[in-house]
Amino acid sequence: MNREVILYIAVSVDGYIAEADGSIGFLEDTEVIVDEETSYQELLDKIDTVVLGRTTYDQLVNELAPGNYPYTEQTSYIIHPDTNTEKLVFTSEDPVELVRNLKSVDGKAIWIVGGGSIIAPLVEANLIDSYVITTIPVLLGKGIPLFAEFEGPVSLKVDRVDVNNGLVYTYYSKK
């Protein structure tokens, strides 16, 4: 049992996943989709688990998809203690230990949704197998970086780069 752990995330050209105040409006300001983009659906087809921080969860349920939590088919682990439901598991478990535990049980791939405080320790522990980083053509100037400081380096290889709808999708994997 060795489930794949995937970081699939959007970032500004200057490397930020959110603006300085935590807002993610720059993601909504992207152009109207012209070409069919399939990487997101491909990701959803191969995962059964999502891991995200409380801020990312709050942005999903309050800004991006109010009243319509998008990951109802998957089990979600939200790093923040709260009341659990069948498919929403709120936990104060360390992200590294959580992902190690999830990798040790049968299942499909695990998607690391965000944010930065969850991503950095997983990168440092070298637990992320695949990185799909979508670059949004905007420079924010300041904000919350995709990769907070961690003990590195972590070597990756570039698997492919696609351009679709004016966005750049870069696929990396562990060496």
The pLDDT tens digits of the residues spanning 82-134 come to 778 888 899 999 999 999 999 999 999 999 998 888 999 999 999 999 999 99
CA terminus-to-terminus distance, the chain: 20
**Does position 32 have pLDDT exceeding 50, yes or no?**
no
CATH number reported for the structural domain that contains residue 140 in this entry: 3.40.430.10
Residue at 3 is within a domain: no
Identify the three-state secondary structure at position 136.
strand
Tell me which residue range forms the domain holding 156. 50-83+105-164
pLDDT at site 63: 82
On the CB side of 4, how many CA atoms lie within 13 Å of its CA? 14
**Mutual orientation of helices 116-124 and 95-103 as an angle, nearest 10°?**
60
Residue at 54 is within a domain: yes
Domain count, the chain: 1
Neighbours of 165 (CB within 10 A): 14
Computed over every residue of the chain, the mean pLDDT equals: 89
Residue at 68 is within a domain: yes
pLDDT at site 12: 96
**Does position 30 have pLDDT exceeding 70, yes or no?**
no
